[in-house]
A and B are shown apart, each in its own frame.
Chain A
Amino acid sequence: MEFDTVMMSRLLTGMTLAFHIIFATIGVGVPLMIAIAEFIGIRKNDPHYLMMARRWARGFVITVAIGVVTGTAIGLQLSLVWPNFMQLAGNVIALPLFMEVFAFFFEAIFLGIYLYTWDRFKSPYTHWALNIPVVLGAGMSAVFITTVNGFMNQPEGFAMENGQFAAVSPIAAMLNTATPTKVFHVLSSAYLTAAALLAAITAFAILKNRGKASDYHKKALKVLMSLVLVFGVLTALAGDLSAKFLADHQPEKLAAAEWHFESEKNADLVLFGWLDGEEPQGAIRIPGALSFLAFGDFNAEVTGLEEFPEEELPPLWVHYMFDLMVTIGGALIVIPLVYLVISRVKKWNEHNKGLLWLIAASGPMAFLAIEFGWFYAEVGRQPWILRGYMTVEEAATNSPYIGLMFFLFLALYIVLGTLCVITLRKLFRNNPAELELEKHYPHLKKEDDQ
């Protein structure tokens, strides 16, 4: 590996996005969770759920701030680090980027209103409704940016004339073949991750309370685990559709993830293991499963890596990224299932230590799956920045200062990440939910812990 300007540009962009996506995912997912909790709270007139909405919103503002500043960074870096790419592709992707800004605007305005108007309206539904534009705005910004990423994978909506784009159709570029599955998977995984994160925090709070769950925590855990299950299933479904999309349109990416060298029918799914030349060793093989994943048919033919020129192949380590994502995807369906089954059976205690620890782990696991998924999708696109049209090398800046900038931003993200954790801990450590409930709703009679 050579650390030239191209490499440093890739590292800088990869690092910024890997950091931004943590907060962006929270930004997309958590408003929906807040909306659900507040809605149940108003419906059932149950202060516990209202308190969830309040506490989640309070933590949320801190993460939003980091989402906004890192998003601003990546937005400007697209031009600073990839000037050639933006000069060319800007002609085609400007529309979704521009609309994304309006989505942010919309989200920012209503978030400001929502946070500062908790008790200002007569009907509680008015305040609840102010969150809807936040949910929609964040969701739409994810949709728009994902169409841009789809375009980088499947450039469509233009004709090429002597090195320049001509006959540009912005809408066709946005609605490229990669967009539908990508948008579905990105949205469902963001909601899944937000639910898993909040569930993990709840489980952790119960564990810290020596396994004693208050009513507040019991209720929170139950809603959140149901949501994890729903969005877990949707995410797996969307992931399956994404794999089918790849098989049809970007077979080299799927083949690289599967270490699938020769085109063949009834192809096996290869999980983990390591490579000896072109032979996967020590891997778990599921006969025919790759054909099924790719085409929904155990006998379909899956294109292998042999059919592509060597210099156009992505690195093969993306195999692990893919496998880890899928494994976590499976776990995030099994864990809520187990929880829900146990909680149905009277004799069993769903708040037992082992299960709580599993739930507490599912939050970080979901974030890891997001990172693995993006690394798979982005590294799997190499060497292209615009698949088939422009390579990463042609796109990067040739400024000699790029290495320095990498370390500048690395330092920034370390500081931001650390302070974010410290601030959030301070915010909640001396202010447990029970205490706040008593303060806010003094009439609520003290309920017995179990």
Chain B
Amino acid sequence: MDTVIQCFEHRFSCDILRNFIRYDTAYPSGTMLLREVKNEKLRQFFQYTLELKQEFSTNCMSNGLTVELFDLGNEQLKLLNRLADGETAWITDPMYLCAKQLLGISKLLDKQNASLRSAGFNKQKAKGDLEDEKFLEKCVRTIHTSFKLCLNDRNPNACENKKWGVYLFTNLELKIYKMLYNRDMVRNLVKVMDSRVSELPTPENALQLNKAQLVTYYYYMAEYYGCHEIDFERGYEFARKAWLSSRGKGGSQENTIMLLLVPFAMLARKWYPDLQILRAKYPLVAGVYEPVIKCLQNGDLFTFGKWLDLNESFLLRQNLFVAMVMIRELVLLKVLKLSFQFFGSGPIVSLKYVAAAVTKSESHQGVKQVPEEKLDSTECMLANLISKNYIKGYLSHSNRALVVSKTNAFPKLAATHAQGGCP
């Protein structure tokens, strides 16, 4: 206990303080009595932390976590937030531990409540049309206060400024908003960070001794830009940085990063992964994307559509459905390129021929006749591809024909490593 008090007096964090904060560790030994702590806020913080430990050891060991444990944990972080007001950067470490602990309690309590509800117990009382608030929603409010304390610290001494800790709380908030499926709050948080970027240390500097947090930050940014904002270039850049800074030992984090990186690389750089390497290094990810890579190579729209249907709910949960739908355009482009190769020489191709290729690819059925509406939709698809410079040429609507460049009808789309930087 004496060391814990010294941490606050001399402004440093250590394992003894970290252990003291945890609800599941024993009472600290020491000679200091609570009533001898002169700082009222600090005394309350100690008091609540001790009650938190007491609550866990008395009521939570056998029957699961209690609401009281959450309330005490929440109060613990609130008190530390109050203490942090006049403190320097050192306090962000215990604040982060408290916040992370509170998040852990909230997650477990929400899970406990969900399983009780599904078993028919603990039916939520309706408050008008609103359901009871989740523990995660309650805890993120206190964590957001910690975030704001770091973000708005005006300490002129850059080394002591709590802004160094801002990314720790950003990561916690992003994690919670993801669990709550709250995209608006993610967007708000990213906007706040963007608007203050000139005042903040870079994530690389702030988290240089904590690669786990750096990779986590990159991952959430990749997901935000690629999946929410449909900005695949930025999504790809963040996912690439997350992957490159990862530990390189596989594991669930790397799989989750690769799950984003593969489609973002396809869309932003028009690259696809070597299946042999992907299978060897990330077999789970290869198992998911292998059919897509094959469709990209052979232009098989039918198989691609089937894959998309089969994986719809998985992709929606991973926020990747839109990205994968957009990859369909590349599969379409491949079937068009193939059909031009099969057609042989000549820059003028009838729309019927192109429409037959698309129909065959979409249905795997023989094409006896191409209906007029199929010609219209094919013309529309081609117009889109021409406007994106995927095809060099023009449409002759009156002749129902596509006229392409004699030299470079299908410009190479993949960014070279020199253009796109080393992957």
Partners in one complex: no
A contacts, CB < 8 Å to B: none
